[in-house]
Structure 1
Amino acid sequence: MIMLHGLIIALLLYYPLPQKTYVTSGFMESRMGRFHAGIDLGTNMQEGVPIISPENGEIYHIHIFNGGYGKAMYMRGNSGKIYVFAHLSRFRSDINKYVLGQQFKTFQYTQNLYFKSRFLVTRNEIIAYTGSSGLKSPHLHFEMRSKSNDPINPIPFLNIDDTIPPEIDSVMIVPSDYHSYISGLPIPRIVRNNDSISIKGKFGIIVFCKDYIDNFKYKTVPYEITLITNKINNIVFKANKFKYQNNRFASWFFYRNHKGWGIRLYKNPDSPNLVSPFCGNVSISASDFAGNTNDFHFFVIESCKNNINLPDSDMIFTNGIIHITGKYRQLNFSGANIIKSIHSENIYHFLLSPLSDTICVGKDTFYRLTRKKFLIKKGKYTISLGRNSLREQVIMHLSLKDDSLLIKFSDTPFEKPLVITNNKYRKKEIFYNALNGAYMGTRKAKIRNSMILSVKLDTLPPEVCSVKKERDTIFVSVKDIDSKIRLNSVSAYYSSIRLLSIPTKRGFKFISNKRLPENGLFLLRCEDILNNKLLYKKQFYR
């Protein structure tokens, strides 16, 4: 029996929970302009599951924030590995007591604490409990890092069973520039398994694929992708580790359209020239950490005749090219050159190459943004691509309705997607989350289809929905429809006693290290991230 127990412990080496559970998110997935630095382990939507130490070591850092990782614990093991546990509900009792003391000392919920040899831990000791801090869904975010603090994929260390191979739905062939032709046009094309396609010139490949780790409910990225042609046999993607300085490429690395997430198999955003011109078979192999593999094939035919395969879309702009489709024989435009015009079955196709920063096509206006400081003014907004662009240039289409601005890009070109300024406010950066449309940056911005941002101004202050007092704790439900409350702006008093604010899913709870009298005046001040202020008062009676 003792030998069996020892075997189980050996198999669960590094596993941060008492029992094996399921993986809800994998390593190196796309996360709002960065890579997912760990994995998410499900807890059946329950909080308070014990977290155990993977090895002997010490807790050297505690970080607490309303968003992001929420309550996070950083541990350094004796082996040199670094472990991160995030979205916690509480820490080990002595750590919890110390952290609460620091919060009352500063009257700030947010904390960034470092220690040295203060909180030692032993392997299999309970060091914290799972929760949902920083988000809404309870789970454990678990990271493993090297001695140099670079994220490592923890999956191979956790002895997780996986018999489900990755799936490759399709691939997109991307021309290097408008001198490269895919099925006769310098625009991207979708290819299915075992298809043949005419290609002239250099091109890049985007793979639409997914993997399932031990269950079909949650999708993630494959562990490895290999590209094989008569000129190449290389591993072009491997989700085993990355460096934080490469996070800037995450927004561009993952391509999103109506088919889902695609992985780019080329590195240069401005020149997708991974594959040089050739004729023959292309094989793409996707595999997971357990060795399950799935293959995808297509055949390249180099054609000088440029056999035209016309797209269905009415308007495409990608790779610096504007492609317009319609029933008009002539096209009224300015600021661009016609690269190619095609007439097929009473439909006319025009491919335009921009000559200036503003391109007018009929009633539509397109803008060319470059890394230079180029500003566009549209209604109340001023828009700038800025210096953080991963592409040299991008084509953008704008439309304005009331206080909402719709922006459509030719491709995701940003490390930090965009800088938008309203005349009343200083510059703010927009961050978007394409997966769930959650709050992003300084204004409410949602992505539609594949590359459209919808931005709306926030002019309303936060609103108090309900207030309830239970002994020495006051619960306040507060919301801000178009923006988000700035956490460090929240301050509350009860009869001159300062209260500590702790975020909850519906608002805040305010606690005190002193007894609160039955009768007293509750005063709350806060503001959203656009400085819309709230001042709230309520008198409590016995």
Structure 2
Amino acid sequence: MKNNIVKILFFIVSLNFVHAQNNQRNPLDYKSILSGTFGELRTNHFHSGIDIKTKGKEGSKVYAFSKGYVSRIKISKGGYGKAIYIKHNDGKTTVYAHLKRFSKKIETIVKNEQYRKENYEIEIFPALNEIKISDNELIAYSGNTGGSSGPHLHFEIRDINQKPLNPLNYGINVQDSKTPSILGLKLYSLYKNREIKSSKNLTFYKKDINTYITDTIHSIGTLGFGIQTIDRQDLANNKNGIYKIDTYINNDTLISIDFSKFSFEETKHINRYIDYSEFKRNKKRFQKLFIQKNNPLSIYKKESNQGVISLIESSEYLIKIEVTDFNRNLTKLLIPIKGNKNKNIFNNESDIKIGNYKNLFINRNKKYILNQHNSSLYIEKETFYNNLFIKKNSDSDTLDLGSDTVPLLKSIKIKFKKPDYKNSYIGIANDKSDKLSFVSSTIKEDSIIAFSKRLGKYIVSRDTIKPTITPLGFNKNDWISNLNYLKLQVRDNQTGIKNYRATINNKWILMEPFNKNGVIRYNFNDSVIDKSKNVFKIEVSDNVGNTSVFETIFYRKTNKFEK
């Protein structure tokens, strides 16, 4: 009897589970075509969701993956832009980002909070079940807000601990019969501590429909491989990330890398995973198929000898690299390799000499405070992944730390003596053009201070040019009853726009970013206006305090019905 009850309960639970699974749906009305895959290599992070194409336009209806309640709403000028987080009954959370706007019931809550705080950027954490979401409920419309480079929906699924999961494991189907592409192969000569001594690009040839092979590689010593690879799907030409890389040595697993799950805490270590120097110099992301020290990534599922090959004289191996996408399409690369000191592929490499008088040795386990001329450099313990030499040279307004070819775990602190002139800031020079990019700087007493996670040439400079404000589609004293939006373009060509504040008749109004060209707009449906003659004013400041003001009178019929 007891066993029968257990079986019945198990059957009921199973039915409920299946029912819950069946109620999950694609967040868009049409077939999923991806412009970005889960775990894809991005700047300073792994991609934590999938990017679903929205036919090149904004405004597609976005539906809840399944029922639950809104646990968080965040709006920011960068990052995810307009984003909504829904907590589901099974403890998972889904995230919908870069939205154009929310559904009516959510949009009302958001607008009220923005006007209450007089700020476009807000974050709301509704109480449990305060904003309930039902199955198939329309929650938003797709857009291009935040750090997006084109219209799409960024969609995430997170587990109960907020670790991102691959949405393709949860019923989001993508048509993909194409095998991954291998674009490049590197052989690394390594020191015993697995740091890179030098590298060689290897040539490979097509053997059959999904297999490539190199000539026999002759080398000796401690070696590792790196691969540049992408995946394309059937209905799009986007260069997406892959799902799995398995490396074998004589059919035994050397290392297995799997992008099915990771945590936000570890994603910054992508710069230890890729060949960071190669990426910064040539914009190519080679994935290192060996594990270096102080690399805590959980994407390594199985490894032998940290993925490193110890090649001795006359030894012979066959290295096989298998690259797989989520749909199990497979591409193989075969590398015959032989231990041969006399024919070593690295024999013609010139020695890399480091440690001259302009180079500074950094022990990663020590803290450094370095003063020279008008500048100071502060380096905390464990700022770098390994011990290394860095360049350090300075004069009155420059601190040169070499090129941005070494990844940092923590920010370094850069301090200069405060210049005599106003509107000063710290910039970092582009390696190729010497054009300065603004680094967030603060003035404290007699110093100007910046924090940065990049090596490079830091220079104290000055910005005396005010931002520009250009009205779009209207002039001063115009009747603009036919306009649904009040649009302006705000720009600053040196340190960038820090903030702006706009009012109509001394009442704060919400100016939303409209596109990536500095266009912002006010929606007349916000109903701030209650008379025909109106005074509009906007103040725009850049990152060093230069401020521009634009003020005008406009006229508008107040009894006009506006959609």
- Whether the TM-score (by the shorter chain) exceeds 0.5 is yes
Query: Which residue of the partner structure matches residue 10 of structure 2?
Result: none
Helix, strand or coil for the counterpart of 2:198? coil
The verdict on how the C-alpha distance between 1:10 and 1:229 changes in structure 2, with shifts beyond 3 A counting, is same
Query: Which residue of the partner structure matches residue 299 of structure 1?
Result: 336
Alignment of 1:92 with 2:116, yes or no, is no
Query: Offset at 1:522?
Result: 3.6
After superposition, give the CA deviation of every residue in 1:221-266 in whole Å (9 maximum; x if it has no partner).
2100111014841552111010111122022222225372111223
Q: What CA distance in whole angstroms lies between the structure 2 residues aligned with 1:431 and 1:91?
A: 40
* 1:483 counterpart letter in structure 2: T
After superposition, give the CA deviation of every residue in 1:4-54 in whole Å (9 maximum; x if it has no partner).
xxxxx9899442111113100111223332221101111122111001122
Query: Which residue of the partner structure matches residue 147 of structure 1?
Result: 160
Indicate if the aligned counterparts of 1:179 and 1:201 stay in contact, CA closer than 8 A. no
Alignment of 1:352 with 2:353, yes or no, is yes
- Which residues of 2 match residues 403-442 of structure 1 at below 5 A? 408-409=402-403, 411-415=405-409, 420-421=414-415, 423-424=417-418, 442=440
Q: What CA distance in whole angstroms lies between the structure 1 residues aligned with 2:374 and 2:338?
A: 50
After superposition, give the CA deviation of every residue in 1:383-402 in whole Å (9 maximum; x if it has no partner).
55554634223444589999
Q: What CA distance in whole angstroms lies between the structure 1 residues aligned with 2:235 and 2:456?
A: 33
Indicate if the aligned counterparts of 1:226 and 1:236 stay in contact, CA closer than 8 A. yes
Q: What CA distance in whole angstroms lies between the structure 1 residues aligned with 2:194 and 2:217?
A: 13
Indicate which of 197, 203, 225 corresponds to 2:245.
225
Indicate if the aligned counterparts of 1:277 and 1:302 stay in contact, CA closer than 8 A. no
For structure 1, which runs of at least 5 residues remain unmatched after alignment? 1-8, 312-322, 324-348, 444-450
Q: What CA distance in whole angstroms lies between the structure 1 residues aligned with 2:427 and 2:292?
A: 24
The verdict on how the C-alpha distance between 1:80 and 1:305 changes in structure 2, with shifts beyond 3 A counting, is same
Indicate if the aligned counterparts of 1:388 and 1:416 stay in contact, CA closer than 8 A. yes
- Which residues of 2 match residues 208-357 of structure 1 at below 5 A? 208-215=228-235, 217-230=237-250, 232-255=252-275, 256=279, 258=282, 260-269=284-293, 274-278=307-311, 279=315, 280-305=317-342, 307=344, 309=346, 349-354=350-355
The verdict on how the C-alpha distance between 1:439 and 1:28 changes in structure 2, with shifts beyond 3 A counting, is farther
Indicate if the aligned counterparts of 1:421 and 1:427 stay in contact, CA closer than 8 A. no
Query: Offset at 1:453?
Result: 5.8
The verdict on how the C-alpha distance between 1:417 and 1:153 changes in structure 2, with shifts beyond 3 A counting, is farther
Indicate if the aligned counterparts of 1:109 and 1:500 stay in contact, CA closer than 8 A. yes
Indicate which of 26, 48, 68 corresponds to 1:57.
68
* 2:289 counterpart letter in structure 1: L
Indicate if the aligned counterparts of 1:166 and 1:211 stay in contact, CA closer than 8 A. yes
Indicate if the aligned counterparts of 2:194 and 2:292 stay in contact, CA closer than 8 A. no
Q: What CA distance in whole angstroms lies between the structure 2 residues aligned with 1:253 and 1:391?
A: 11
Q: What CA distance in whole angstroms lies between the structure 1 residues aligned with 2:195 and 2:110?
A: 61
Query: Which residue of the partner structure matches residue 462 of structure 1?
Result: 467
Identify the structure with the greater strand proportion. Answer: 1
Query: Which residue of the partner structure matches residue 138 of structure 2?
Result: 126
The normalised TM-score by structure 1 is 0.75
Q: What CA distance in whole angstroms lies between the structure 1 residues aligned with 2:396 and 2:47?
A: 36
After superposition, give the CA deviation of every residue in 1:262-306 in whole Å (9 maximum; x if it has no partner).
112233257996314143111111111111111112123223447
The verdict on how the C-alpha distance between 1:262 and 1:128 changes in structure 2, with shifts beyond 3 A counting, is same
Helix, strand or coil for the counterpart of 1:117? coil
Query: Which residue of the partner structure matches residue 392 of structure 1?
Result: 386
Q: What CA distance in whole angstroms lies between the structure 2 residues aligned with 1:142 and 1:500?
A: 27
* 2:53 counterpart letter in structure 1: G
Indicate which of 63, 69, 88 corresponds to 1:77.
88
Query: Which residue of the partner structure matches residue 333 of structure 1?
Result: none
Q: What CA distance in whole angstroms lies between the structure 1 residues aligned with 2:552 and 2:110?
A: 31
For structure 2, which runs of at least 5 residues remain unmatched after alignment? 1-19, 205-213, 296-304, 442-453, 556-563
Helix, strand or coil for the counterpart of 2:307? coil
- Which residues of 2 match residues 492-507 of structure 1 at below 5 A? 492-505=502-515, 506-507=518-519
Helix, strand or coil for the counterpart of 1:103? helix
Indicate if the aligned counterparts of 1:204 and 1:273 stay in contact, CA closer than 8 A. no
Indicate if the aligned counterparts of 2:397 and 2:416 stay in contact, CA closer than 8 A. no
Indicate if the aligned counterparts of 1:252 and 1:390 stay in contact, CA closer than 8 A. no
Percent identity of equivalent pairs: 21
- Which residues of 2 match residues 442-453 of structure 1 at below 5 A? 442=440
Indicate if the aligned counterparts of 2:231 and 2:242 stay in contact, CA closer than 8 A. yes
Query: Which residue of the partner structure matches residue 9 of structure 2?
Result: none
The verdict on how the C-alpha distance between 1:77 and 1:214 changes in structure 2, with shifts beyond 3 A counting, is farther
Query: Offset at 1:58?
Result: 1.4
Query: Which residue of the partner structure matches residue 26 of structure 1?
Result: 37
The verdict on how the C-alpha distance between 1:216 and 1:502 changes in structure 2, with shifts beyond 3 A counting, is closer
Q: What CA distance in whole angstroms lies between the structure 2 residues aligned with 1:107 and 1:495?
A: 15
Query: Which residue of the partner structure matches residue 447 of structure 1?
Result: none
Query: Offset at 1:461?
Result: 3.6
Helix, strand or coil for the counterpart of 2:162? coil
Q: What CA distance in whole angstroms lies between the structure 1 residues aligned with 2:179 and 2:411?
A: 33
Query: Offset at 1:148?
Result: 1.4
Indicate if the aligned counterparts of 1:417 and 1:430 stay in contact, CA closer than 8 A. no
> How large is the RMSD of aligned CA atoms in angstroms?
4.0
The normalised TM-score by structure 2 is 0.73
The verdict on how the C-alpha distance between 1:296 and 1:417 changes in structure 2, with shifts beyond 3 A counting, is farther
Q: What CA distance in whole angstroms lies between the structure 2 residues aligned with 1:26 and 1:40?
A: 7
The verdict on how the C-alpha distance between 1:466 and 1:452 changes in structure 2, with shifts beyond 3 A counting, is farther
Helix, strand or coil for the counterpart of 2:131? strand
The verdict on how the C-alpha distance between 1:480 and 1:429 changes in structure 2, with shifts beyond 3 A counting, is closer
* 2:509 counterpart letter in structure 1: L
* 2:106 counterpart letter in structure 1: I
The verdict on how the C-alpha distance between 1:353 and 1:298 changes in structure 2, with shifts beyond 3 A counting, is same
Q: What CA distance in whole angstroms lies between the structure 2 residues aligned with 1:64 and 1:32?
A: 22
Q: What CA distance in whole angstroms lies between the structure 1 residues aligned with 2:501 and 2:440?
A: 21
Q: What CA distance in whole angstroms lies between the structure 2 residues aligned with 1:192 and 1:30?
A: 23
